[in-house]
Amino acid sequence: MVRRLDSMPAAVVAAGFGVSLRTVRKWKSRYRHGGVEALVDKSSRPLRCRSKLTEKTYREIFSLRQSRLTGDEIAARLRLSRSSVFRALRKLGCSRLASLEVKPPVRRYQWEKPGQMLHLDIKRLGKIDGVGHRKAGTRQVCRRRPGWEYLHVCVDDASRMAYTAILPDETAESAVEFLWSAVAWYTARGIRIERVLTDNGSCYASRKFREACREFGIRHKRTRPYRPQTNGKAERFIRTALKEWAYAQTYTHSWKRTAYLSKWTHHYNFVRPHSALGRKPPASCLSGG
Crossing angle of helices 254-270 and 232-241, rounded to 10°:
120
State percent of the chain over pLDDT 70.
89
Q: Count CA atoms within 13 Å of residue 203 on its CB side.
A: 17
If you classify domain 118-285 with CATH, what class do you get?
alpha beta
Report the candidate in 264, 256, 259 with the shortest Cα–Cα distance to residue 238: 264
Whole-angstrom distance, CA of residue 81 vs CA of residue 50: 11
Whole-angstrom distance, CA of residue 37 vs CA of residue 39: 5
Q: Which pLDDT value is given to residue 234? A: 93
Q: Which pLDDT value is given to residue 108? A: 65
Least confident of 114-128, 130-144, 186-200: 130-144
Flag whether pLDDT at 97 surpasses 60: yes
In 137-285, which ranges are continuous DSSP H helix? 172-188, 207-216, 232-241, 254-270
Report the candidate in 223, 154, 208, 149 with the shortest Cα–Cα distance to residue 183: 154
Q: What is the pLDDT of residues 182-226, one digit of tens each?
A: 999 999 999 999 999 999 999 999 999 999 999 999 999 999 877
Q: Which pLDDT value is given to residue 45? A: 74
- What band does 266 get if pLDDT is binned at 50, 70 and 90? very high
> Cα torsion at 238, 240, 244, 249 (round to 10°)?
50
Collect all residues with Cβ–Cβ distance below 8 Å to 208 and sequence separation of at least 6. Answer: 172, 173, 175, 176
Q: What is the pLDDT of residues 41-92, one digit of tens each?
A: 777 777 666 668 899 999 999 999 999 999 999 999 999 999 999 999 999 9
Q: Which pLDDT value is given to residue 183? A: 97
**What amino acid occupies position 106?**
V
Whole-angstrom distance, CA of residue 96 vs CA of residue 109: 31
Burial label for 105, CB within 10 Å (0-12, 13-18, 19+), is: exposed
Q: How many CB atoms lie within 10 A of CB 62?
A: 17
Burial label for 177, CB within 10 Å (0-12, 13-18, 19+), is: middle
